[in-house]
Structure 1
């Protein structure tokens, strides 16, 4: 029986430098990197439909809606995610 690989903790700066050299997208949680799984037809359709619904619901407001390739940082713990869809509370600068 083999042991699991040792976890290598990184700080945010080290992760960002490392991630820039990777061909895949990675998320960063609690000092640990996690590769993102590839999408399939059904989740991709749901993501697209959610994006359209958010865009329609927020039309005429100062909010922006983003889809899949926009990284989200949680400032409280420096976690980084690539959510399927996200919306801002104000227009980004």
Structure 2
């Protein structure tokens, strides 16, 4: 599957387990650099060790505006600023 993500920077919240983790794995497999976050630092560290160099995890509470801004500004991940974009919805 080619999602056109090769070389793109992507942020996934809740990326240390469950559906979020599956999304991170898919995006990394598609060639994206994925910054993922979750509330628990332990889960983030474990996931990052398993996901490899194109995934960077950090503990972020997405209900905390300061922490989210730090993630967006590149203060907590190695690939610089992240420009937010909303993915288009598909209704069938």
Q: TM-score range by the shorter chain?
A: under 0.3
Structure with the higher fraction of residues in helix conformation: 2
Return the structure number with greater strand share.
1
Normalised to the residue count of structure 1, the TM-score between the two structures is: 0.24
Name the TM-score, length of structure 2 as normaliser. Answer: 0.24
